[in-house]
Amino acid sequence: MVRGAAGAAVRDARAAVVADRSVGGRALCRALSAATDTWLAQVFAAATGETAATVALAAVGGYGRGELAPGSDLDVWLLHDGTLDQPALVALAEQIWYPVWDAGLKLGHGVFTPRQALALAARELDTATSALTVRPLAGETTLVRAVAEGAAGLWRKRSSRYLAELAERVAERHRRAGEVAFLLEPDIKEARGGLRDVHALGWAVRSGRSVLAAGDAQALQRAEETLLGVRVALHRSLMRPSDELLLERQDEVAAALGDTDADALMSRVATAARTVAWIGDEAWHRLGSTLAGPLGRRIRRDRPLGPGLVLRDGEVHLCAPDGGPGAGGAAFDVALVLRAAAAAAQAGVPIDRRSLDRLAEAVPAAHGPWPEGARQSLVELLAAGRPAIAVIEALDQRGLVHRILPEWEPTRSRPQRNAYHRFTVDRHLCEAAANAAEVTATVARPDLLLVGAWLHDLGKGYPGDHTEVGMGLMASIGPRMGFPPGDVAILVDLIRHHLLLPDVATRRDLADDAVIEMVAGAVASPATLELLAALTEADSLATGPSAWGTWKAGLVGELVARVAHVLGGGDVAEVTGGGFPGSDVRRLLAAGQTVVSGDGDVLTVVARDRPGVFARVAGTLALKAVAVRSADAVSADGMAASQFKVEPGAGGVDWDDLAGAVRLALDGRLALSARMAQRGRRPRRRPAGDLLATPPRIRIDNHGSSSSTIVEVHAPDRVGLLYGVTTALAELDLDIHLAKVATQGDEVVDTFYVRTASGAKVVERDHLRELERAVLHGVER
């Protein structure tokens, strides 16, 4: 067979398989494997001739399992009986490998005798796992059989060493690749809960040890079918070997698989990955105990944990007869589930798998009032903090969370497909509760904080505004849990106002009396303010890395302190004075000289007042790639002062260079518009958030401030956005009194307090329309 013709033949055969849209997932993998098998057998026959009786071609790895996706590598071994000399063996191998390379296929290959393959497998885990998947393609099958049988025996014999190393590799891969269920753009194969975890569990099962519990194999198979189907569809759309499900591909993959949209696809992916991850955690926990052996375990007598529960061998067990009351009279109800969960979380151990299954079989859904003690057990579970997350996940995997709380089901594995949120809705709620557990000492009612944190976003599982829906849900759930009316009202208020503090702190003027009085009026009581402050921190930390930091924490803390002063009976004027400009800036204004100085993370600029001063400074900061967090501005006696709080970045800020550039811009000697346009033309990788960002939105408010018109801009983050908006404001001769910049993932919310040249609000209808038009143009240009 001519090499070029051989390559064309396999390309055509594989293309025909991939083009057949009637098959996908595992069926396509098998069809692609079969087509490749046929072609490689032909290549082998043409290469070997009379030597075929002494050699064999075998598939290993994913190809050996018959899971050849469109972008997968071909992993093959050339096995021989040792009778061929080295030059002849090299020549034979090249006659097989080169047609594969000519076909444009990525090849992983090895040349061994069975003894050599097994000797290498005895030393290397990768070779050992590959040998477990070996299957014949062509040639002398006894050579392949010798490897397969020897590898199986070797794996069982040396399972302790192999499995210990495999467990370490799994843990390291999880640390490196993250989790499929919670990543915006997950690696379907390598990340935690992905296909590689399914393979690892399959290898562990081959050891002959007790690895999977009843029903796990079937659950893994279903999850694998989902993930494999996604991987195949992804490879089909790319036609290159990438297993990262990027945002720009998710709609296409969803359509190919028949999902209604990308959200539905990612929900299925998250559900499958969570199943794989949970089964894997359970399995490796059991294997770890087994591998430790009798000397590695502490044997203790059962420790009673209340009616129907004991701590045994590092797990919480039911000691109740199946389907009936426990030894101490414990009924199979949500109270028992929550007591078991609380005990497990507080001890940092799992619930015994058989006990979980028994609870899942016997516990009915709690549609009516909760049994006595159930609410307290829920609070104790949540108060355990981070260990509670794994326990709640175990309950959820067995359908017990929505038995406890039927309203939970719509949030399960519900994706939040934006760069701001790290987790699915349900996991975000558990993370928020775990964070709240760390600050319970700061509040008088830890129970309300914990339950409020766990349920604050429950409305996201339902149509409509999630805050309003969540308030209605809590009004029903709270009494069912047994909270008195006053406590229910506070829980509803926690949901009503769970975004109030961060929104006001990052978008409004905290030196404005009206702002502080508005928040005090909404919160109404010091107790609720205390709970909201703790909830804000817990919620923000659970959202993602860009949702909380020292800057935001400082603003929220300042707002809380000022509102607390008012709620405690103090005068609002006592806490809103003393802001910008301070005495030092007032002295600079009075001197009437241009000053540009930087210190720490603050840039101070004083210059002659004229339209566009603020925009020129903002543009210079953008050119120098210095991110702005907030800004204040004031004008008096023909002079303008502004202060920018910036993010210095890893290398800090070169203040001399930046100050020099700002002076050039103020003097009109820096072509800002041209430079910004030139910078905008530079090619860059499109951020993931661009694909999900909503169109820019402009909100104008004349009620939130007593002296300024508030312009709030929601837009995808990009270089020069602040410059574009402030230039638009300058074109309308509007003075910027205050600017706040809040970045939420790949979206920014910029807020500007503006006044006309006469110091008044913008009130005329036509002027307001022009203001909106100008700002929107500034955002988009």
CATH code for the domain in which residue 59 is found? 3.30.460.10
Task: Tell the burial category of 175 from Cβ atoms under 10 Å away from its Cβ (0-12, 13-18, 19+).
Answer: exposed
> Is the N-terminal amide bond of 581 cis, ω within 30° of 0?
yes
Compute the CA torsion angle 418, 555, 586, 514 (nearest 10 deg). Answer: 100
Q: Please, are residues 737 and 634 in contact by the beta-carbon 8 Å criterion? A: yes
Residue 528 shares a structural domain with residue 553: yes
Cβ contact 44:138 at 8 Å: yes
pLDDT band (50, 70, 90) for residue 5 = low
Three-state secondary structure call for residue 299: coil
Of 503, 599, 519, nearest to 563 (Cα)?
Answer: 519
Residue 645 covered by a domain = yes
Where residue 328 falls among pLDDT bands split at 50, 70, 90? Answer: very low
At 11 the pLDDT is 82
Helix (H, G, I), strand (E, B) or coil at 740: strand
588 and 464 within one domain: no
The region, left, alpha or beta by phi > 0 then psi within -120 to 50, assigned to residue 199 is alpha
pLDDT at position 324 is 47
For range 542-563, the mean pLDDT: 90
* Tokens representing residue 208 in the block: 């002959």
Residue 736's beta-bridge partner residues? 754
> In 10 A of CB 193, how many CB atoms?
32
pLDDT at 628 over 90: no
So what's the pLDDT on residue 1?
47
**Domains in the chain, number:** 4
Look at residues 25, 538, 428, 382 and name the one whose alpha carbon lies nearest to residue 233. 25
Instruction: Note whether 609 and 642 are within 8 A (CB).
Output: no
Beta strands at 627-636 and 639-647: parallel, antiparallel or unpaired: antiparallel
Domain assignment of residue 384, yes or no: no
- Asked if residue 397 is part of any domain, the answer here is no
Same domain, 548 and 598: no
pLDDT digits (tens, 9 = 90+) for 85-136: 899 999 999 999 999 998 888 899 999 999 999 999 999 999 999 999 999 9
Task: Report the CATH number that the domain containing residue 463 is assigned in CATH.
Answer: 1.10.3210
pLDDT-derived band at 331 (thresholds 50, 70, 90) equals: confident
CB atoms within 10 A of CB 44: 22
Final residue in a domain of this structure, among 101, 130, 157: 157
pLDDT digits (tens, 9 = 90+) for 25-51: 999 999 999 999 999 999 999 888 777
Q: Is pLDDT of 691 > 80? A: no
Domain boundary among 157, 182, 201: 157
Tokens 């393609």 label which residue? Answer: 137
- Which of 514-523, 532-541, 698-707 shows the lowest mean pLDDT across its residues? 698-707
Residues 166 and 287 in one domain: yes
Q: Could you say which DSSP state residue 244 is in?
A: B
Q: How far apart are CA 583 and CA 252, in angstroms?
A: 59
- State yes or no: pLDDT of 620 exceeds 70: yes
Are the C-beta atoms of 59 and 135 separated by less than 8 Å? yes
CA dist., res. 319 & res. 676, Å (int)? 71
| Structure-token pair, residue 678 | 């030139």
Burial 411-427 (b: 16+ CB within 10 A, else e): bbbbbbbbbbbbbbbbb
Distance CA(305)–CA(281), nearest Å, equals: 24
Helices within 681-736 (DSSP H only)? 721-731
Q: Which of 249, 221, 223 is nearest to 236 (CA)?
A: 249
* Residue 373 belongs to some domain of the structure: no
Short-list 650, 658, 600, CA closest to 624: 658
Lowest mean pLDDT, pick from 92-106, 186-200, 313-327, 429-443: 313-327
What is the identity of the amino acid at 277?
Answer: A
Measure the CA–CA gap between 630 and 354, rounded to whole angstroms: 55
Q: Do residues 661 and 670 make contact, with C-beta atoms less than 8 angstroms apart?
A: yes
Tell whether the model's pLDDT for residue 497 goes beyond 80.
Answer: yes
Low-confidence winner among 331-340, 465-474, 646-655, 771-780 (lowest mean pLDDT): 646-655
Q: How far is CA 561 from CA 519, 554, 631, 740, in A?
A: 12, 11, 21, 19
CA dist., res. 732 & res. 729, Å (int): 5
pTM (2 d.p.): 0.85
What are the pLDDT digits (tens) for 742-754? Answer: 777 678 889 999 9
> Hey, how many other C-beta atoms are within 10 angstroms of the C-beta on 708?
24
Residue 529 has pLDDT above 80, yes or no: yes
Angle at 244 between CA 239 and CA 249, to 5 degrees: 65
Q: Where are the alpha helices (DSSP H) in 20-124?
A: 25-48, 61-64, 86-102, 114-123
**DSSP character for 498?**
T
Domain end position, chosen among 296, 315, 350: 296
Written as six digits, the tokens of 65 are: 């399992």
First to last CA, the chain: 60
| pLDDT category of residue 649 using cuts at 50, 70 and 90 | confident
Rounded to 5 degrees, what angle do the CA atoms 441, 444, 445 make? 100
∠ at Cα 105 (101, 108), nearest 5°? Answer: 80
Say if 390 falls within a structural domain: no
**φ/ψ (deg, to 5) at 151:** -65, -40
Contact present, 281 and 389 (Cβ < 8 Å)? no
Q: Which residue stretches of 592-720 are H helix?
A: 613-623, 655-666, 672-680
Q: What is the pLDDT of residues 176-235, one digit of tens each?
A: 999 999 988 999 999 999 999 999 999 999 998 888 988 999 999 999 999 999 999 999
The confidence band for 330, taking pLDDT boundaries of 50, 70 and 90, is low
Residue closest to 80 by CA, chosen among 96, 67, 100, 69: 96
> Is residue 733 packed enough to be buried (19+ CB in 10 Å), middle (13-18) or exposed (0-12)?
exposed
The pLDDT of residue 551: 82
* Spatial separation of the C-alpha atoms in residues 144 and 139, rounded to whole Å: 9
Same domain, yes or no: 173 and 122: no
Residue 309 inside a domain? The answer is no
- Number of helices (H) and strands (E), helices first, in the chain? 32, 15
Tell me the angle at which helices 374-383 and 446-455 cross, rounded to the nearest 10 degrees. Answer: 80
In a domain, 341, yes or no: no
> Whole-angstrom Cα distance, residue 327 to residue 371?
18
Predicted local distance difference test score (pLDDT) of residue 686: 52
The residue among 723, 540, 518 whose CA lies nearest residue 616 is: 723
Q: For 317, what's the count of Cα atoms within 13 Å in the CB-facing half-sphere?
A: 14
CA distance 254 to 265: 5
CATH, residue 284: 1.20.120.330
Position 753 scores a pLDDT of 92
pLDDT of residue 325: 47
Q: How far is CA 184 from CA 187, 197, 214, 554, in A?
A: 10, 19, 32, 29
Quick check: helix, strand or coil at residue 700?
strand
Residue 515 lies in a domain: yes
pLDDT tens digits for 334-346?
999 999 999 999 9
C-alpha torsion 730→731→734→740, nearest 10? -40
Q: What are phi and psi of 751, to 5 degrees?
A: -120, 130
Is residue 300 pLDDT above 70, yes or no? no
What CATH code is carried by the domain that includes residue 639? Answer: 3.30.70.260
Residues 628 and 760 in one domain: yes
Q: What is the pLDDT of residue 718?
A: 80
Reduced to 3 states (helix: H, G, I; strand: E, B; else coil), residue 746 is coil
Q: Do the bridges between strand 107-112 and strand 74-80 make them parallel or antiparallel, or are there none, so unpaired?
A: parallel
Do 498 and 594 lie in one domain? The reply is no
Whether residues 209 and 83 share a domain: the answer is: no
Q: What is the mean pLDDT of residues 227-254?
A: 88
Are residues 713 and 749 in contact, defined by beta-carbon separation less than 8 angstroms?
yes
Tell me which residue range forms the domain holding 770: 583-780
The torsion region of residue 66 among left (phi > 0), alpha (psi -120 to 50) and beta comes to left
Are residues 8 and 144 both part of a single domain? yes
Nearest-angstrom CA–CA distance, 238 and 240: 5
480 pLDDT band (50/70/90 cuts)? very high
d(CA 542, CA 254): 28
Residues 419, 470: one domain?
A: yes
pLDDT of residue 491 exceeding 50:
yes
**DSSP assignment, residue 350?**
P
pLDDT at 288: 82
Closest listed residue to residue 188, CA positions, set 125, 106, 266: 266
Over the stretch 507-520, which tens digit does the pLDDT of each residue have?
Answer: 888 888 999 999 99
- The residues, any chain, with a CB within 8 Å of residue 99's CB and separated by 6 or more, are 1, 3, 6, 7, 10, 43
**Furthest CA-CA distance within the chain:** 101
More confident residue, 517 or 319: 517
Q: What is the SS3 assignment for 40?
A: helix
Task: Clarify whether residues 595 and 545 are in a common domain.
Answer: no
pLDDT averaged over every residue in the chain: 90
The closest alpha carbon to 179, from 233, 245, 117, belongs to 245
- Span 533-545, average pLDDT: 94
Are residues 192 and 115 both part of a single domain? no
Residue whose pair of structure tokens reads 């909760």 in the numeric block: 370
- The Cα angle at residue 641 between residues 638 and 643, in degrees rounded to 5: 170
